[in-house]
């Protein structure tokens, strides 16, 4: 008789909600969202944003919570096993599920490095290491020196950056090592409230800025909020704005990655996925729309004015977080404390996301190969540490951007499309609807039965179709990549292909192993 495996479980409903919200609330909430909103029509951007939230984000959130809980009942915590549980007659569907391990792993190997910058800058803020820098050029030089992109008076080499990366990496592995309840849930239960406290402190400081420069009365906080939220409806004609709004919803809710599938697989059959999923999504939206939309851009407007704010919004998330915001905080009383709070907020957002990205790969080793938690985490730690190195040493050659595109953009949308089709059409919408409501404390509005079956998949096909139409050939042939970086981009793509093929081989080996065990059990 086969031995029954004992899987990890969550300690409480609050724990799983905080963990899923922690996975969703990341650097994108406080950096990417305000930049995208401000550079794409301000308040008008919020129209496609909320349309995408209700037609893509919330349906996918419920789909992934439901699929994860369903697959967990078959002792599967990752997409290959969950997909196979839904469509057992199709022997190839599990290989599509490889994306649900591949995507989080690829994001983890560069996200952890970026996350480590926030930890470093938290210390730099307290020590006043950048406190005397007063303009964009010097603060940019400080950042580039730290990243190893140039050698200057602030940094000579990657030593400090690598030290903080190593500390951040070990911290991630330590949390994952202690499992779902003892590690991830415990982290998120204290990290998420602290993150909101830090966010509220910064929000209160921003809204009380008033008009610091009386010679420029138009540069005030109400003007800053007006810039971000007053709509330019002409932007709604642009397909790019709609695509970027949809992309932000994917990015911010962590849907289409595979993480929520794994987290939900540790639920029991009677656990509510409707209210829990909606609560996690609402917590994320509160962090993004209320806090993320009220700190960086309004504050930048007050100090840099309406002329420079557009270029600041489009300067990229690194510049917003590590250049613009430190300059703003340097102008305020208690600058070192406020700087520490800002970067600590980003670090907490980052670490609660990165530990979730590691869990699918660890769960795959545990569930499909019966490897113990400690050994699985050790294997993941060694392999992922090695995979992180190109992102660190070849940042200037576009490796991180390439990893982000494939792991955090393209495959994210592709995976979401696959799981939506499986859920609504293969599993069957009526069966899916019944599965969603098992143990539910609230009823999903019936309109979502139609949305999940028709609107969400059509919306996803539209996004993929637009991408193939507008972007496919230039990206594949590296038309926008400099000749000096093409070798590194090609090497990154070959590396990604090898990772994907390795995972596919492991999936095949896992199913072959399971087949042998079943035959022995007979």
Residue 2 clears pLDDT 50, i.e. is over it: no
Rounded-to-10 torsion of CA 457, 462, 465, 467 = -110
Rounded CA gap, 253 and 62, in Å? 12
Portion of the chain with pLDDT greater than 90, in percent: 66
pLDDT in tens, 54-88: 999 999 999 999 999 999 988 899 999 999 999 98
Q: What's the pLDDT at 53?
A: 95
Residue 91 clears pLDDT 90, i.e. is over it: no
Q: What's the pLDDT at 99?
A: 95
- Per-residue confidence band for 28, with pLDDT thresholds at 50, 70 and 90: confident
Q: What's the pLDDT at 5?
A: 56
Residue 1 clears pLDDT 70, i.e. is over it: no
pLDDT in tens, 421-465: 999 999 999 999 999 999 998 999 999 999 999 999 999 998 888
Half-sphere exposure in the Cβ direction for 130 (13 Å, CA): 33
Residue 250 clears pLDDT 90, i.e. is over it: no
Rounded CA gap, 243 and 464, in Å? 10
Alpha helices in 265-322, H assignment, sequence order:
274-285, 296-313, 317-319
Q: How far is CA 288 from CA 44, 203, 294, 405, in A?
A: 16, 12, 9, 22
Half-sphere exposure in the Cβ direction for 431 (13 Å, CA): 10
Rounded CA gap, 116 and 168, in Å? 6
The whole-chain average pLDDT of the chain stands at 91
Residue 439's contacts (CB-CB under 8 Å, 6 or more residues apart) are 269, 270, 271, 272, 273
Rounded CA gap, 255 and 268, in Å? 21
Residue 97's contacts (CB-CB under 8 Å, 6 or more residues apart) are 78, 79, 80, 81, 82, 83, 84, 507
pLDDT higher for 212 or 363?
A: 363
Per the DSSP assignment, residues forming a β-bridge with 42 are 231
3-state helix, strand, coil in the chain (%, to 5): 75, 0, 20
Give the pLDDT mean for 505-514.
Answer: 93
Residue 267 clears pLDDT 50, i.e. is over it: yes
pLDDT higher for 330 or 1?
A: 330
pLDDT higher for 244 or 187?
A: 187
Portion of the chain with pLDDT greater than 70, in percent: 98
Q: How many residues does the chain have?
A: 522
- CATH number assigned to the domain covering 13-521: 1.10.4160
pLDDT in tens, 320-341: 889 999 999 999 999 999 999 9
Find, among 427, 455, 212, 158, the residue nearest to 329 by Cα.
212
Q: What's the pLDDT at 519?
A: 77
pLDDT higher for 522 or 345?
A: 345
Rounded CA gap, 344 and 341, in Å? 5
Alpha helices in 271-421, H assignment, sequence order:
274-285, 296-313, 317-319, 325-330, 335-369, 373-393, 399-405, 411-421
Q: What's the pLDDT at 345?
A: 97
Asked whether 180 and 427 are in contact (CB, 8 A), the reply is: no
pLDDT in tens, 127-167: 999 999 988 899 999 999 999 999 899 999 999 999 999 99
Residue 127's contacts (CB-CB under 8 Å, 6 or more residues apart) are 336
* Phi, psi (rounded to 5 degrees) for 231: -80, 140
Rounded CA gap, 269 and 265, in Å? 10
Helix axes 335-369, 13-24, angle to 10 degrees: 110
Residue 297 clears pLDDT 90, i.e. is over it: no
The contacts found for 118-121 with CB under 8 angstroms, 24 or more apart, are: 118/27, 118/321, 118/343, 118/344, 118/346, 118/347, 118/350, 119/164, 119/167, 119/168, 119/343, 119/347, 120/146, 120/160, 120/161, 120/164, 121/322, 121/326, 121/339, 121/343
pLDDT higher for 359 or 223?
A: 359
Structure tokens at 131: 């406190």
Q: What's the pLDDT at 246?
A: 85
Residue with tokens 């330590």: 174
* Phi, psi (rounded to 5 degrees) for 235: -70, -20
- Domain ranges for the chain: 13-521
Per the DSSP assignment, residues forming a β-bridge with 231 are 42
Asked whether 283 and 99 are in contact (CB, 8 A), the reply is: no
Asked whether 241 and 323 are in contact (CB, 8 A), the reply is: no
């Amino acid at each position: 008789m086969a031995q029954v495996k004992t899987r990890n479980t969550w300690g409480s409903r609050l724990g799983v909600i905080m963990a899923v919200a922690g996975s969703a609330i990341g650097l994108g909430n406080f950096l990417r969202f305000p930049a995208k909103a401000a550079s794409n029509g301000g308040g008008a951007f919020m129209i496609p944003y909320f349309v995408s939230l209700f037609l893509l984000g919330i349906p996918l959130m419920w789909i992934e919570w439901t699929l994860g809980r369903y697959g967990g009942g078959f002792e599967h915590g990752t997409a290959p096993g969950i997909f196979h549980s839904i469509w057992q007659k199709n022997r190839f569907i599990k290989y599509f599920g490889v994306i649900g391990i591949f995507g989080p792993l690829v994001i983890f190997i560069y996200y952890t490095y970026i996350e480590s910058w926030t930890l470093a800058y938290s210390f730099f803020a307290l020590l006043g290491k950048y406190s005397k820098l007063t303009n964009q050029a010097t603060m940019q030089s400080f950042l580039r020196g730290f990243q190893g992109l140039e050698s200057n008076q602030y940094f000579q080499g990657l030593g400090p950056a690598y030290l903080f990366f190593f500390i951040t990496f070990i911290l991630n592995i330590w949390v994952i090592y202690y499992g779902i309840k003892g590690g991830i849930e415990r982290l998120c239960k204290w990290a998420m409230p602290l993150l909101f406290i830090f966010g509220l402190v910064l929000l209160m400081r921003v809204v009380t800025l008033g008009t610091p420069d009386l010679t420029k009365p138009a540069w005030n906080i109400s003007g800053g909020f007006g810039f971000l939220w007053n709509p330019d409806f002409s932007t709604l004609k642009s397909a790019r704005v709609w695509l970027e709004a949809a992309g932000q919803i994917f990015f911010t809710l962590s849907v289409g990655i595979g993480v929520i599938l794994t987290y939900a697989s540790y639920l029991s059959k009677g656990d509510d996925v409707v209210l829990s999923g909606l609560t996690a999504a609402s917590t994320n939206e509160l962090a993004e729309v209320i806090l993320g939309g009220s700190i960086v851009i309004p504050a930048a407007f007050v100090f840099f004015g309406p002329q420079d704010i557009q270029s600041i919004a489009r300067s990229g998330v690194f510049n917003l977080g590590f250049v613009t915001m430190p300059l703003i905080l340097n102008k305020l009383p208690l600058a070192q404390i406020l700087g520490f709070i800002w970067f600590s907020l980003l670090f907490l957002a980052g670490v609660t996301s990165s530990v979730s990205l590691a869990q699918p790969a660890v769960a795959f080793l545990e569930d499909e190969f019966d490897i113990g938690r400690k050994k699985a985490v050790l294997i993941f730690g060694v392999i992922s540490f090695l995979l992180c190195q190109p992102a660190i040493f070849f940042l200037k050659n576009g490796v991180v951007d390439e990893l982000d595109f494939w792991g955090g953009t393209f495959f994210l949308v592709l995976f979401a499309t696959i799981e939506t089709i499986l859920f609504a059409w293969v599993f069957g919408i009526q069966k899916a609807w019944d599965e969603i409501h098992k143990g539910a404390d609230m009823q999903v509005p019936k309109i979502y039965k139609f949305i999940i079956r028709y609107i969400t998949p059509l919306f996803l096909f539209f996004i993929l179709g637009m991408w193939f139409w507008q972007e496919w050939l230039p990206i594949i042939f590296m038309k926008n990549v400099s000749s000096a970086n093409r070798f590194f981009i090609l090497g990154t793509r070959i590396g990604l292909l090898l990772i994907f093929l390795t995972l596919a081989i492991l999936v095949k080996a896992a199913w072959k192993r399971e087949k042998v065990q079943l035959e022995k059990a007979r």
